[in-house]
Structure formats: C-alpha cells, structure tokens
Amino acid sequence: MLDPEKGFTSDVITDPNRFVGRTDLIRACMQALNSPTSLIAIYGKRGVGKSSLLRQVQQMALGDYTLAENAGLGHEIPQRPRTYLTVFYTCDSMIDSGEALLSRLINDQDDEDGLLRLVPDEGKEVIEFTRAKEASAGADLKVVNWGAKGIESTKYAKVVPDDTVQTFRNFLSSIVQHQVKKRMKRDGLLILLDEFDVLANKKGLGSLIKSLSSKDVKFAICGIGQDLTDLIEDHASVERLLEQGAIHVRPMPEPEALAVLDKAEELYQGELKFDPDVKRDIVDVSQGYPYFVQMIGKSCVTKASQSKTNRVDTEIYQAVLGDIKNGVAFPTLESAYQRAIGTSENRQMLLHLMAEQTEQKTLFHEDVGRIFLKHARQDAEDFNVDYLDQNLPRLLDSKYGPVLRRIPEGQGIYEFNNPVFRLYVRLRAF
C-alpha cells in the first residue's frame, strides 16, 4: 500500500521542500522580511495557499532560505538576511477587539508557536529547535518545561493588571531584550497572525499593529480577502508599512499546478507515476487551486493502491472521478453540498448552473470568479427551471453555508465563497 500522505497533503505546507512554485511571492516575502519596518499582509481566496506561504515566511524569518534557493532566488538572498524569533497564532471569530487579540497572544501556551513561551520567567526551560529536517535550517525556541510557577500569563512578571496593551508591550520588550537580542542574537521578533479575516471586529487593528511595530517587532498577517481592506479596515494607517509587504496570493498558473503533481512523484521516489494525460486533466479541473490538486492526487494514490498498480492512468483517474460524481470521494465537500441543496432538486439544479457559469472579470477587480445572475437566469430558462428566485436565498443563507455571496459592486453579481466547493460542484453529478 502506498501512503497517500507521502506525496500529497491537504494540510498547510510547512516543509519548504514540499512547497511548489510562487517564485514572485517568495521574492516579495523575502524583501518584506529584510526591510526593517515593513508589515507583511498576505491575502487571497480560500484554499489558494495563503497559510502555506505564511509558514514559509516563518521559515525564512528563522534564517532558513532553502525555499528561496530552490526557487532560483539564491542570488537575491541578502548577504546577511535579517533573522527573527517567531510567534505564530491562528485567529478565530470569538476575538472581538484588538485588545482581545493581544490578550489571546499573551495567554497562548503553544510550546513551539506561542508568545508566552518566549517571555523570560523563572524555572521555565526553553531550548532551540529547528522546524525543518535540514540540520542547516534556522532555529527557533520551544518550551520543554514550564517551570514551577505554572503557565498562566498572570503569574508572569511585568503583568499590569487591567491593562492588556501595556502588559503586551512589556512582554514584547522583555522578549526582545532577553531572547531575541541576548540569547539568540537575532534582529527582531516576527508575529505571524493567520486567519486574520475572521476577527469579529477589525476596528483600529491597523493602527494597533502600527503602534506595536518597530525595528525590533514585525507583524505578518494573513487571511481571506480580495484586497487589503478586507484584512485591515483602517489600512490607511499602515499604508507606509506596506510598501513591500502587500502580497496577493492568486490561483496557481497551470505549470505550477502541474508541478504539484511532479513534486508528488518526486516524493514517491519512483514508487508512483501519473500518466501525462491524467496530470493535464487534474490541472484542468483544479483551476489553479492547489488544495484540489492535492485532494484529487490523494484519491488517485488510494485508488491505484487498491488496484495494485503504481501507475495512475486514465482508468484510475476515471474511477476517482466516478467517486466524486457519486459524492463519496470528499466527505467534507459532500456534506456542504447536501446542506446547500437540502431536498430540493430545483436548488440542486440552480447550484450546478451557478457553478458552471464561466467566470467573468468585473470592472473593478482583476480577480475572476464572479457569476452574473442574469446569465444563470437565461440558462435556467433553457433548462426550464421555474423557481430560481425562490431557490437563491438558501444559497446565500449563512445557516446553509453560505455557498454564495453577493458582490456589492453591481446587481445580480455573486461569488462562490469557497472556490474549491465550486470546483467540486462542477464534478459532482446531479
């Protein structure tokens, strides 16, 4: 049996040797990391590869430039790159203010990524570790023993009661002084915040981040959005910090999506091969979304194993497509599909009509992915669907997804919230 995870993963990619393509984005991240003041803001659609890029930023921050070298950017790496200690935090929608965010960071006890691990404190034992397999990779700090005082942030020195912002500042300055400069001799502390878009209240976050950024403390934020304002409402306050650091992750161009499959073959070290036709088909249905390539790739490996072959040919691929059509290949996407359509065949029809629409550019954004209802309406008449207007609301209802969202810039323009779900619907039978 071949292990599907050996070549494919639906997880965020932390290992630089599994990360494919994105040369221009890697360059931009490298420049932003090496500018003393710049803020890094990574944005783009769901499933496009933002978090994976953010993890690569973390690697480079630690001084591991394997990725840049692999991408052919070796000559652009600075003589002496700026290096950092790092904190990595994934936000959630329960965080309803800037202060709440700082409070979460102050209390985060993650051994390898949390902020609290870096605050000097008696009895706590912190050791160096590397996040990659390579011995040459950059080191970070992790906690192996939290010490006698326990791990509540309130027991730490320099806590100012009822003043989260000041406590946070105190934590930062003692981290910078003791761990960053004295112990690890780094240039700064990098705080990476993933899923920044889900924060319930973004008011004032830009200016908060600006006020906390310095030559010693840098932020990298990442989340779903089609422009910067989706991430930072008061983006004017950070505009100057963003000269190099605004990074839009778009769907992969076809050669990069293809390279995800080549990379997988490389990881299988000859144990698995894809027929060129199959590769082309997978790239075609994936529309630049690496998540879809990875998931289909994984299914192909499983199917090939079951058929006792190490060659993914058209037959294996068709069997995988058959599973997708029947709704048994990807349980998570399938349950989203079932939730969206409920028991209505008309709604199912409408969903498929929407997913099939050719993507269109709008006046205001270069981004594609918009669906114009009037086109769907024409098609609906051709297909004789009467209940289009009755069936649309559920697709917009957050109780059932929401599958679609209305685009405010014009009437009757919609977008699939999850582009990967759209790709799924296109392959699903109805």
Q: Which residues make up the interface to Mg ion (CB under 5 A)?
A: 51
Judged by CB under 6 A, the residue of 49, 138, 225, 297 near ligand ADP is 49
- Closer to ligand ADP by CB, 21 or 401: give it: 21
Q: Is 50 in the site for ligand ADP (CB under 6 A)?
A: yes
The piece of 204-212, 287-295, 303-311, 333-341 that touches ligand ADP (CB under 6 A) is: 287-295
Q: Which stretch binds ligand ADP (CB under 6 A): 15-23, 159-167, 277-285, 388-396?
A: 15-23
Binders in 240-269 for ligand ADP, by CB under 6 A? 260
Q: Taking Cα atoms as reference points, which of 90, 102, 97 lies closest to residue 168?
A: 102
Q: Are 245 and 38 in contact (CB under 8 A)?
A: yes
Q: Which range, of 46-54, 112-120, 126-134, 278-286, touches ligand ADP by CB under 6 A?
A: 46-54
- Name the burial class of residue 377, with classes exposed (0-12), middle (13-18) and buried (19+) by CB atoms within 10 angstroms of its CB: middle
Q: From the CB of 341, what's the least distance to ligand ADP, in Å?
A: 24
Q: Which does 19 bind (CB under 5 to 8 A by kind): Mg ion, ligand ADP, none?
A: ligand ADP
- In angstroms, what is the minimal distance from the CB of 393 to Mg ion? 29
Residue placing its CB nearer to ligand ADP in the complex, 119 or 232: 232
Interface residue with ligand ADP among 196, 291, 317, 421 (CB under 6 A) is 291
Nearest-approach distance from CB 102 to ligand ADP, in angstroms: 23
Own/partner contacts of 142-146, CB < 8 Å, gap of 24 or more, are: 142/111, 142/112, 142/117, 143/111, 143/117, 144/111, 146/109
Query: Which does residue 20 bind out of Mg ion, ligand ADP, none, counting CB within 5 to 8 angstroms by kind?
Result: ligand ADP
299 lines the binding site for ligand ADP (CB under 6 A): no
Number of Cβ atoms within 10 Å of the Cβ of 232: 26
Cβ 264 to ligand ADP shortest distance, Å: 9
Nearer to Mg ion, 4 or 49 (CB): 49
Candidate residues 81, 290, 369, 401; the one interacting with ligand ADP per rule CB under 6 A: 290
User: How do beta strands 246-249 and 40-44 pair?
Assistant: parallel
C-alpha atoms less than 13 angstroms from C-alpha of 391 in its C-beta half-sphere:
23
> Where does this chain touch ligand ADP (CB under 6 A) — which range of 18-26, 109-117, 143-151, 177-185?
18-26
DSSP letters, 265-308, are HHHTTTS-EE-HHHHHHHHHHHTT-HHHHHHHHHHHHHHHHHTT
7 binds, among ligand ADP, Mg ion, none (CB under 5 to 8 A by kind): none
296 CB-side CA count, 13 A: 34
Closest separation between CB of residue 259 and ligand ADP, Å? 8
Mutual angle of helices 164-174 and 98-107, in 10-degree steps: 50
Member of 9, 34, 38, 302 binding ligand ADP (CB under 6 A): 9
Residue 289, both tokens: 């979304």
Distance CA 349, CA 75 (A): 53
Distance between CA 223 and CA 186 in Å, rounded? 27
Length of the chain: 430
- Site residues (CB under 6 A) for ligand ADP? 9-13, 19-22, 46-52, 260, 290-291, 294
